């Protein structure tokens, strides 16, 4: 078989798959760290990400382009990425992990809504249908598992944090889509600012908890991977890899993430959780389906947290 210089790279596609897997499984790491204060977790994650991103920028000579991006892109990253992480971590302190994860993974539906409002993108019937399916699935999970027919007030703050996390990430995606370019080199800046902010908040409001050796390894590993290497890998994958395959695989993240929680014993696979997981997955597939003469899947500009 002859190779084509323009054909998708298998290596790049595999790297993209690994990035998706890292993001999907990061929820398990966060659950393991639940007894550590939120800003302490964020301090280590952002600082580890800063070191890794700085190394990547140095290797690839990306420092010179950091200052070439518009200021609104930098601001969007600071608010969207740092804000998203803060609310995401806090959500796990106040609500069940599987609930938080599925709410946070509703961000593609929020992107559809925001895109129709701020980017004047047309919203089709199948987009509306996908949003209804996703939110109905999540609603069913939260209400059914409460056993009282309404949201469990004990977890309400956690749910709101998870929803805020999804909204902030969606806003970042919308602005990034408008800018078009992927900007992994800016993650060193985001992580640097996030680290400084988290360390300050930790020493002002929290009492330091010394992590175990296992927790420390998980913290550093997550910082290096989820906050740096995965973004560089995803950027490389969507440029050089199999675009459509990565798109399809990204819609499976809710399943991978929830099943990871179940496999490691952090969640019980109830009927409600299974139904909600499948509904969010189906909603993602429907929302990404481009309807024209020959239906095809289209990839959003940013990958997954996606």
Mean pLDDT of 80-92: 94
Mean pLDDT of 52-81: 90
73 inside domain: yes
Q: What residues contact 205, with CB distance under 8 A and at least 6 apart?
A: 39
297 three-class SS: strand
Tell me, what DSSP letter sits at residue 294?
A: S
Q: According to the per-residue pLDDT averaged within each range, which of 57-61, 163-167, 240-244 is highest? A: 163-167
Q: Which of 113-122, 134-143, 208-217, 255-264 has the lowest mean pLDDT?
A: 113-122
109 inside domain: yes
Q: What residues contact 127, with CB distance under 8 A and at least 6 apart?
A: 112, 116, 287
Q: At what angle do helices 97-104 and 83-94 cross, to 10 degrees?
A: 150
pLDDT at 299 over 60: no
The 10s digit of each residue's pLDDT in 224-237 is 999 999 988 887 88
Q: Which of 257, 292, 289, 294 is nearest to 276 (CA)?
A: 257
The structural domain count of the chain equals 1
- The Cα–Cα gap between 190 and 143 comes to 36
The 10s digit of each residue's pLDDT in 163-201 is 999 999 888 888 877 775 667 889 999 999 999 999 999
The 10s digit of each residue's pLDDT in 133-174 is 999 999 888 887 666 666 778 899 999 999 999 999 888 888
- For residues 69 and 189, is the Cβ–Cβ distance under 8 A? no
Sign of CA dihedral 281, 102, 238, 70: positive
137 inside domain: yes
6 three-class SS: coil
Tell me, what DSSP letter sits at residue 7?
A: S
pTM of the model: 0.86
The confidence score (pLDDT) of residue 296 equals 43
Mean pLDDT of 109-126: 82
290 three-class SS: strand
Q: Token pair for residue 144?
A: 């059914």
206 three-class SS: coil
250 inside domain: yes
The confidence score (pLDDT) of residue 180 equals 59
Q: Which domain holds residue 187?
A: 11-297
The 10s digit of each residue's pLDDT in 194-214 is 999 999 999 999 999 999 999
Q: Token pair for residue 7?
A: 């054909």
95 inside domain: yes
């Amino acid at each position: 078989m002859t190779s084509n210089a323009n054909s998708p790279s298998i290596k790049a596609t595999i790297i993209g798959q690994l990035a998706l897997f890292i993001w999907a499984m990061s929820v398990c790491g966060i659950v393991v760290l639940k007894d550590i204060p939120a800003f302490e977790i964020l301090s280590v994650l952002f600082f580890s990400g800063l070191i890794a991103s700085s190394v990547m920028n140095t290797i690839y000579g990306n420092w010179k382009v950091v200052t070439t991006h518009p200021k609104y892109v930098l601001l969007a990253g600071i608010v969207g990425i740092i804000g998203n992480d803060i609310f995401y971590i806090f959500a796990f302190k106040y609500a069940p992990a599987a609930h938080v994860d599925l709410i946070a993974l509703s961000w593609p539906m929020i992107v559809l809504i925001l895109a129709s409002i701020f980017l004047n993108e047309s919203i089709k019937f199948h987009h509306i249908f996908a949003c209804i399916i996703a939110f109905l699935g999540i609603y069913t999970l939260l209400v059914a598992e409460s056993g009282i027919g309404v949201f469990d007030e004990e977890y309400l703050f956690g749910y709101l944090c998870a929803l805020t996390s999804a909204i902030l990430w969606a806003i970042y995606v919308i602005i990034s889509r408008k800018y078009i370019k992927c900007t992994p080199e800016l993650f060193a800046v985001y992580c640097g600012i996030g680290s400084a902010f988290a360390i300050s908040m930790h020493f002002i409001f929290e009492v330091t908890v010394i992590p175990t050796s296992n927790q420390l390894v998980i913290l550093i590993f997550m910082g290096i991977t989820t906050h740096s290497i995965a973004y560089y890998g995803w950027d490389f994958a969507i440029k050089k890899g199999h675009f459509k395959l990565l798109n399809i695989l990204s819609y499976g993240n809710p399943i991978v993430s929830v099943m990871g929680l179940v496999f490691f014993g952090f969640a019980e696979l109830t009927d409600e959780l299974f139904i909600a997981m499948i509904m969010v997955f189906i909603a993602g597939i429907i929302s990404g389906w481009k309807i024209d003469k020959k239906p095809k899947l289209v990839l959003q500009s940013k990958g997954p947290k996606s």
